Structure 1
Amino acid sequence: MKKLIPLILIPFLQACGDAGSDTELPTIKAKSAYTCSQYNEYRTYGDRESQRRMISATIQQLDNEYTGESRIEKYYRAVHSTSANIGNSANADRRAYSSELYNIIDHTCLINPDNSLATAVTNSINKFYVDTATQPYLATCQSYLEGSISLENILSLATEERYYLIINPVKVIAETPDYGIEAVTHALVETCTAKPYERVWSQLDLTANKIANNIRHQQGLLESQEREKARLKFELETYGVSLFKTGNADCRDYQTQYEKSQQPGEHQAQYKAALLSTLTDAGELLTPRQRVVFDKLLADNPEGFASALLEATHSGHLGSSPCYKERKGERRKGVELKDAIESMDNIPAAIEPKPLTQNQLVPLGR
């Protein structure tokens, strides 16, 4: 009888001896609801859905057992349990993990049909945990932090698989001054330290894209600032001086210059001074007779005159307006602006009309 005692204890010791291991889940004591032979039978029928339900029920059973604080039990709860929530890429990660794990379970049950499904699933997860530690596509952040997998390994596979969601942002970061590949490494270490059981492939995808998007945003702001500087430079060079100095003294440019002189801002005073210079230079195109009136009107009320001239540039119909006459090359030489000034009510005609002769006087009604 004494000889039987060690033999009786062996199964109990085997069931409990690996409890607390960081690399292997302990075999559960509870009886499994299914066997591998049952699982294999459904496979023979091609009933994959029933197999999935069996695995799901078995994992629910394992959930009640693996509540310890060993590393692999924490890994199990984070990755394989029914309550696992694998980051922002939960669906993609779960599909990737499930596909690989199911393949291992299939193989385990085929070679050990007498095993309970709980044992097969446990052994399969143990194998999965070890095997995937060095696989770039399936490794966890913990494997990355421990050096089982490197950033170069992941990038190499991403390049081979043409996975541009990783390749492109990493390339942007690596080629950006003050960032470089070191920025990716640093950020991934931070992310993985906070989420050791997340899939490192997905975390690199999320982390690299976040940094790359931030870089693109910063570059967009800089480009926008450069465009704004170029626009302001052009406008100051064009409308911040007399239009006659830039050769743009036509009605449309006068309208633009006037609008800018009325807009509050840092450069309003410059635009107002430029508008007055444009009006002063426009007076040079008038006859002496017109100039006398023009100078007085401008001196008495420069802002009022500028506003009246603006109205004159808008008056008339296409073809009759002083701003829309065909000039054959003269359009941008101040002729339009001169005509607009002459069309104003207070400006006399360029040449005083001669009195009619006696022969030109024709009685009304004849």
Structure 2
Amino acid sequence: MTVTIAARCAAWSCRLAPALLLLPLAGCGEGGAPAGHNKTEAEPHVAAGEIALSDDQVAAAGITLVRPERGSGGGTIAAPALLEGDPQATQIVSAAIGGRVVSLARNLGDPVRRGETLAVIESREAAALNAEVERAAARAELARANLSRDEALFAKGHRPEREVQTSRAAAREAEVSLNMARQQVAASGLRRGGLNRIVIAAPIGGRVIGRTAMLGQTVAADAELFRVANLTRISVTLSLPPADASRVQPGMTLTLAAPGREGQARVRFVSPVLDSETRLVRVIADLDNRDGRWRVGEPVQVEIRTETGAGPADRLSVPADAVQTIGNRPTVFVRTPAGFRAVPVTLGRRDGPRVIIVSGLTGGERIAATNSFTLKAELGKGDADHGDH
């Protein structure tokens, strides 16, 4: 009987030898011990639910040890987000009338102030608009002269009042035609003194982020030539489940992170309706980008602290990867002098990358975090081998 038990224990050890964690058991049978074991050496007792593991083995397995965090903290919502340009700070620049591009004053990436010239277009239609202004001005001048003459003659009794009224109406109509011709010229961007030149000016200050115009190109009316954006403030856009969105309010601060950078933005908008396709809530925050560190279209990761100062002061939380499910119970592995002990815990809600521990820990323990799943696997192997005895 002793030989059989020893052989079985030796075989069990051989099966675990290739594994990362070698788990010496306190006893393999009735008084038996693995072959080659020195009975005179003291060894820690390993009870059910425990794993014997030295400090060297812990390091070799890549297991990190952490302590539960204690404090009022507050909830954290973590989600992916996208940086977008502020729609109110982005403008598409086009020509009101068609023509040929004869000058380009700005290129991609160039800064520009409001009203500065982006391009100049030469257009026959522009010449026609200028000519119409000249004709309207001449008609208005003639109408004013006729009105002045008729009023003078009427005062001397040489003109009937009806003719004066007719002259006055003609003068008003000529003034309206002149104003309309001038407004059409202004809307087209015609340069003063240039009968056939249209100036394309920047509608806002910012930076040129798009340019389709090329020298010599013939462009149609309303075709996009430039895109100008003020990127000193951009938007952080994310979508949240309704339960998380209900904890977010305008004015809250969110933290965003990308490789090598971190920043903060302020929540501006929480949609009161769900997206019809995703069934999520759209949230938008404003990000100060005067230093130009962030780019439109860039994906980022954000966290929102939703309950600053709320909750019990002694609440505990652990990293989510420290919790394993064993026997349908959430469990953490607590470091002991001999190794680790599996401790069932009661979980609260998820708090970003951490999870709240309602009961099961005191807060003074050291627990396995990274690679704790290897302990779960070794615990399962040990239970299976004990079942063979």
Global fold match (TM > 0.5): no
> If you compute each CA radius of gyration, which structure gives the higher value, 1 or 2?
1
If the length of structure 2 is used for normalisation, what is the TM-score?
A: 0.22
Structure holding more helix per residue: 1
**Which structure's relative contact order is higher, taking Cα pairs within 8 Å and 6+ residues apart?**
2
Structure holding more strand per residue: 2
